[in-house]
Amino acid sequence: MTTALITGATAGLGAAFARRLARDGHHLVLVARNEERLWEEATRLHDRHGVEASVLVADLATDEGISAVEERLGDGDHPVDLLINNAGFGNKGKFLQVPVEDELTMLKVHCEAVLRLTSAAVASMRERGRGGVVNVASVAAFVPRGTYGASKAWVVQFTQGAAKDLAGSGVRLMALCPGFVRTEFHQRAGMDAESVPGWMWLDADAVVGAAVKDLARGKTLSIPDARYKALMGASRLLPRELLARASTKTGRRYGPR
Ligand SMILES: NC(=O)c1ccc[n+]([C@@H]2O[C@H](COP(=O)([O-])OP(=O)(O)OC[C@H]3O[C@@H](n4cnc5c(N)ncnc54)[C@H](OP(=O)(O)O)[C@@H]3O)[C@@H](O)[C@H]2O)c1
């Protein structure tokens, strides 16, 4: 049986990955900050699917947290076959409304942690000649959308570049770019999700289902759902200014700080 390590497994897309991968028979290592929620999730999945589910409490906005997960990924006695770098968040506000230290925290979680955990995982996967990494980015990577979109653009470029460098090694890397997904993300970021039209919302389990399929097909970029595939195709034809106006506004109304 193979083992999957999922960051940000207590909610939203990470929890959906955990459900799906447990159902498919993977042992799990669940990573996030909230220990109680991690254990609830691990116990539930173990009881329902009979897989081993362990918990690693780590704050990926800190060096200690990232190091603890790197160490687990480098444990040759308990190899990790699939890494899902999913933990992430949005800051509450537009550029300059958010303190620079919070922006740096976002870069730490979205970019530094993803770089370091991917490196740690892939080093041992390459030795074994197999393995997979899914780095959760966003369609925000392709449009002007504040510092959040910029951090996710880094995730896409990094993942596709590394996938090319590792071609033929047996290790697959894929950037996952969902549109709006119903999770805790928007509430945590203090965003007014009501301003996003209903048709734009995706279901977390469906997003994960599409991601699993795309990884098996060897894709390096996954944009779940026909609606977003069409939108991203159309966005390449639109004048950049028009695109910037629409993308920087949609779903970016924030409550009081
Ligand atoms: N929802 C969307 O519309 C959407 C769209 C595109 C991409 N995404 C991306 O999808 C990923 C998952 O987001 P989601 O929508 O599922 O959000 P969510 O429901 O808020 O879940 C976020 C997860 O990340 C964990 N997390 C946050 N900060 C962390 C930290 N410093 N260290 C460790 N874990 C941390 C949280 O766990 P704890 O609080 O327990 O630590 C939680 O498990 C993110 O990378 C996000 O950018 C989301």
CA diameter of the chain: 53
Pocket of ligand 1 (CB under 6 A): 7-14, 32-34, 37, 59-61, 86-89, 109, 136, 138, 178, 180-181, 183-185, 188
Residues classed as catalytic: 148
pLDDT of 26-48, one tens digit each? 999 999 999 999 999 999 999 99
Predicted confidence at residue 245, as pLDDT, reads 82
**3-249 is classed in which CATH architecture?**
3-Layer(aba) Sandwich (3.40)
Q: What is the position in ligand 1's atom list of the atom closest to the CA of 110?
A: 45
Best substitution site from 31, 33, 187, 201 to test ligand 1's pocket, by max atoms within 8 Å of Cβ?
33
User: What is the pTM (predicted TM-score) of this model?
Assistant: 0.96
Determine the distance separating the centroid of ligand 1 and the alpha carbon of 160, expressed in angstroms. 21
Predicted confidence at residue 256, as pLDDT, reads 65
Task: Return the domain boundaries, the chain.
Answer: 3-249
CA–CA gap between residue 177 and residue 194 (Å, rounded): 22
What is the band of 257 on the pLDDT scale with cuts at 50, 70, 90? low
Q: Is the pLDDT of residue 194 over 90?
A: no
pLDDT of 69-96, one tens digit each? 999 999 999 999 999 999 999 999 999 9
The gap from C-alpha 30 to its chain's centroid, in whole angstroms, comes to 14
Strand partners, 184: none
User: Which phi and psi angles does 165 have, rounded to 5°?
Assistant: -60, -25
DSSP string over 119-155: HHHHHHHHHHT-EEEEEE--GGGGS--HHHHHHHHHH
Strand partners, 176: 136, 222
Determine the distance separating the centroid of ligand 1 and the alpha carbon of 87, expressed in angstroms. 4
Query: In this structure, are residues 60 and 7 in contact, taking their beta carbons and an 8 Å threshold?
Result: yes
